């Protein structure tokens, strides 16, 4: 029966609020005090049952929790027929607990989703020389595996033969597929977008990079679930004190009504609702302004953050390569752009897609004699013209005339972090394009706002090469920048910062970011990221709007201040009531109740101020 009641607490909350509303409508609208008392008495009885059960369970393990005090106080209020107080206190207590629990349980499905994303099968070379599909668990170190286009790479390994482009976003977070040829490493969980590879298994099962991601998320989530709420620590001392005070007064004075009055006046109605109402108002403000905040623990930790670590791709940058710089070496490039578009439409490489998107709709042309040069580019014929499209090495091998001016342009484009695509017609350089991931609009200004909010260190960690990461960091004015980092490297770096006493937030958007999101004091996911990243995180920036981040930080600081104000109000009112009860003649039950209800209203109104919070520009 206890399990059934606790399992259905949400229904009890609904029934309680319906009864309370019905009672007040009867009294205020129809002047019917009988229905008012009956409905609020029923709400008190129904609402106190789950609280009493939790109080009993706490007492069994010798813990005097706030549930104990609330149960006794509500019972006392009920005995002296103050049904309004008993009904409201039980509802507010249950509703506050519901809000806390609901937000703290949202990360639990992340492990399951990560596991589902792991490779399940592999094509293994058998003794008869044929490749057969087997379970991943049947693959051992040293086995030879075949990976076809569109398949997940099942293990960490080394390419033996074949070539292709692998999407490593699940590991490095980088959107541009990486070319893989003989001798290069590949990682489990990444996807071969085109080509065919034969690999030898180096690490299998839990030892793979993807396996370590899952393990890191599990460990980090377990450590986070041990965090204690401030209100529990406070009630550890507060509830026994009030209970003991009431018992002592009863023993000394033999005045049962006085003892009950102490319990009622000492009942932490404002304390119980003060923190949840601030929390709910803060979460509500965030949701209306593009920020999902998962609970009061998040509020507290986020407000103290002094270091924010960013993933680069998809966080500071858009995550999609675009043509950023163009230099023409002819007066009218229209025909050449049509040639280039026709050739690049033959390729599914991300750089080719960026070029086609940049050029837009042009006249379709017939491409002939296409020759893909490994690690260089493409040579083809259009209308009898020999077209070469690729990097500088391809141009030099094709004896393309590159002037000193063009070499200076190439150097400048590379310094800007571009991937280069050159186009030559019949041995003459016609066009130079620079393609790179674009920094999100407004990021520079938002980073400055974060610094004004007290963030001391702004750091970028990326799987991209160090040169590109340095350029982004310099452009944005970041404190530190580290490239060529795998997920475990990022997580280890964050752990190092935490050992130095820093409160660290990590901002990312991919599966590869999950360990860092989980191990950081605050994990912040971009809303267009993977479901795993979003569920593992503590904060989600809806629609991936980077401007929401400073608002989120400012909001949490304001919310924590508001929580402390409400706690101070609640404790101060209780202290005032108890002091007045013992040391004045004017304090009585009705006045105490009036002040008590007023304090609840004050903390609610104070918390509601957060709904109007806006971070100043």
Burial of 525 (0-12, 13-18, 19+ CB in 10 A): buried
CB 43 within 8 A of CB 12: no
Tens of pLDDT, residue by residue over 380-412, are: 999 889 999 998 889 999 999 889 999 999 988
Tens of pLDDT, residue by residue over 181-212, are: 999 989 888 889 889 999 999 989 878 867 76
For residue 174, what pLDDT is reported?
A: 59
pTM of the model: 0.61
Question: DSSP 3-state assignment of 479?
Answer: coil
**339: nearest Cα among 239, 280, 424, 213:** 424
Mean pLDDT of 438-454: 89
Tens of pLDDT, residue by residue over 118-152, are: 788 999 999 899 999 999 989 999 999 999 998 99
Which class would CATH give 283-317+440-554?
alpha beta
User: Predicted confidence band at 503 (pLDDT cuts at 50, 70, 90)?
Assistant: very high
CB contact burial 291-329 (16+ within 10 A = b; e otherwise): bbbbbbbbbbbbbebebbbbbbbbbbbbbebebbeebeb
φ and ψ of 379, to 5 deg: -120, 130
Give catalytic residues, as residue numbers.
Answer: 311
For residue 607, what pLDDT is reported?
A: 83
DSSP codes of every residue in 23-64:
HHIIIIIH--HHHHHHHHHHHHHHHHHHHHHHHHHHHHTT--
Residue 562: Cβ within 10 Å count? 25
Tens of pLDDT, residue by residue over 275-320, are: 777 877 787 787 677 777 776 677 788 999 999 999 887 788 877 7
Would you state the torsion angle of the CA atoms of residues 311, 315, 321, 323, taken in this order, to the nearest 10 degrees?
A: -120
Q: Is the dihedral of CA 574, 41, 72, 606 positive or negative?
A: negative
For residue 506, what pLDDT is reported?
A: 94
Over 70: is that where the pLDDT of 232 sits?
no
For residue 221, what pLDDT is reported?
A: 46
Question: How much is the CA Rg of the chain, to the nearest whole Å?
Answer: 32
For residue 439, what pLDDT is reported?
A: 83
Query: Of 191-195, 245-249, 525-529, 530-534, which has the strongest mean pLDDT?
Result: 191-195
Lowest mean pLDDT among 155-159, 276-280, 332-336, 377-381: 276-280
Over 70: is that where the pLDDT of 106 sits?
no
Tens of pLDDT, residue by residue over 545-587, are: 788 899 999 999 998 898 889 888 988 888 888 788 778 777 7
User: Predicted confidence band at 233 (pLDDT cuts at 50, 70, 90)?
Assistant: low
Query: Would you list the domain boundaries of the chain?
Result: 120-154+156-203, 283-317+440-554
Mean pLDDT of 513-521: 85
φ and ψ of 572, to 5 deg: -65, -40
**518: nearest Cα among 203, 294, 315:** 294
Distance of alpha carbon 434 from alpha carbon 424, whole angstroms: 15
Q: What percent of the chain clears pLDDT 70, i.e. is strictly above it?
A: 84
Mean pLDDT of 213-223: 51
For residue 107, what pLDDT is reported?
A: 36
DSSP codes of every residue in 350-389:
HHHHHHHHHH-S------EEEEEETTTEEEEEETTEEEEE
Query: Which has more pLDDT, 286 or 269?
Result: 286
Distance of alpha carbon 346 from alpha carbon 431, whole angstroms: 19
DSSP codes of every residue in 267-295:
S-HHHHHHHHHHHHHHHHHHHHTTEEE--
DSSP codes of every residue in 167-187:
E-TTTT--SS-EEE-TT-EE-
Distance of alpha carbon 140 from alpha carbon 203, whole angstroms: 8
User: Predicted confidence band at 271 (pLDDT cuts at 50, 70, 90)?
Assistant: confident
Over 90: is that where the pLDDT of 375 sits?
no
Query: Which has more pLDDT, 219 or 583?
Result: 583
Question: DSSP 3-state assignment of 147?
Answer: strand
Pick the CATH number of 120-154+156-203 from 2.70.150.10, 3.20.20.70, 2.60.40.420, 2.170.190.11: 2.70.150.10
For residue 32, give Cα distances in angstroms to 26, 45, 268, 304: 5, 20, 29, 51
């Amino acid at each position: 029966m206890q399990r059934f009641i606790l399992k259905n607490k949400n229904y009890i909350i609904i029934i309680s609020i319906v009864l309370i509303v019905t009672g007040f409508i009867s009294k205020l609208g129809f002047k019917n005090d009988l229905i008012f008392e009956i409905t609020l008495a029923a709400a008190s009885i129904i609402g106190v049952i789950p609280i009493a059960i939790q109080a009993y369970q706490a007492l069994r393990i010798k813990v005097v929790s706030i549930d104990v005090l609330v149960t006794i106080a509500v019972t006392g209020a009920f005995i002296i027929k103050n049904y309004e107080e008993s009904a409201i206190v039980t509802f507010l207590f249950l509703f506050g607990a519901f809000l806390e629990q609901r937000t703290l349980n949202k990360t639990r499905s992340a492990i399951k989703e990560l596991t589902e994303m792991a490779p399940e099968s592999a094509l293994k070379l058998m003794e008869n020389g044929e490749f057969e599909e087997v379970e991943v668990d049947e693959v051992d170190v040293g086995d030879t595996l075949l990976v076809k286009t569109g398949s997940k790479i099942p293990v960490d390994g080394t390419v033996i033969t074949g070539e292709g482009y692998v999407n490593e976003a699940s590991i490095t977070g980088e959107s541009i597929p990486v070319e893989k040829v003989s001798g290069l490493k590949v990682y489990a969980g990444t996807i071969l977008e085109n080509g065919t590879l034969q690999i030898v298994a180096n690490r299998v099962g839990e030892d793979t990079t993807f396996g370590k991601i899952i393990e890191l998320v599990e460990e980090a989530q377990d450590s986070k679930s041990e965090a204690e709420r401030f209100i529990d620590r406070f009630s550890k001392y507060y509830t026994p004190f009030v209970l003991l005070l009431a018992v002592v007064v009863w023993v000394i004075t033999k005045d049962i009504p006085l003892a009950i009055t102490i319990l009622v006046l000492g009942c932490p109605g404002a304390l119980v609702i003060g923190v949840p109402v601030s929390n709910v108002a803060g979460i509500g403000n965030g949701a209306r302004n593009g920020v999902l905040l998962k609970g009061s623990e998040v509020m507290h930790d986020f407000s103290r953050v002094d270091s924010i670590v960013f993933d680069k791709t998809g966080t500071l940058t858009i995550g999609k390569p675009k043509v950023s710089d163009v230099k023409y070496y002819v007066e009218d490039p229209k025909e050449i752009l049509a040639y280039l578009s026709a050739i690049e439409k033959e390729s599914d490489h991300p750089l080719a897609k960026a070029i086609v998107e940049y050029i837009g709709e042009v006249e379709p042309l017939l491409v002939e004699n296409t020759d893909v040069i490994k690690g260089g580019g493409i040579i083809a014929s259009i209308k009898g013209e020999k077209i070469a499209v690729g990097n500088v090495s391809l141009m030099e091998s094709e004896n393309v005339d590159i002037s000193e001016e063009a070499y200076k342009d190439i150097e400048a484009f590379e310094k800007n972090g571009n991937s280069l695509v050159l186009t030559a017609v019949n041995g003459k350089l016609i066009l130079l394009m620079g393609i790179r991931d674009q920094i999100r609009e407004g990021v520079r200004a938002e980073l400055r706002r974060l610094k004004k909010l007290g963030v001391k260190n702004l750091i970028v960690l990326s799987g991209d090469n160090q040169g590109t990461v340095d350029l982004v960091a310099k452009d944005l004015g970041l404190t530190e920048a580290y490239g060529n980092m795998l997920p475990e490297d990022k997580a280890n770096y964050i752990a190092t910062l935490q050992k130095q006493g820093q409160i660290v937030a990590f901002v990312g958007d991919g599966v590869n970011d999950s360990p860092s999101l989980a191990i950081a004091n605050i994990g912040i996911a971009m809303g267009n990221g993977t479901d795993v990243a979003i569920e593992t995180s503590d904060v989600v920036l809806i629609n991936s709007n980077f401007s929401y981040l400073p608002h989120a930080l400012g909001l949490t600081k304001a919310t924590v201040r508001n929580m402390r104000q409400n706690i101070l109000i609640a404790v101060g009112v209780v202290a005032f009531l108890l002091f007045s009860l013992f040391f004045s003649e004017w304090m009585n039950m009705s006045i105490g109740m009036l002040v008590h209800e007023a304090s609840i209203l004050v903390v609610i109104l104070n918390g509601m101020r957060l709904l109007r919070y806006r971070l100043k520009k």
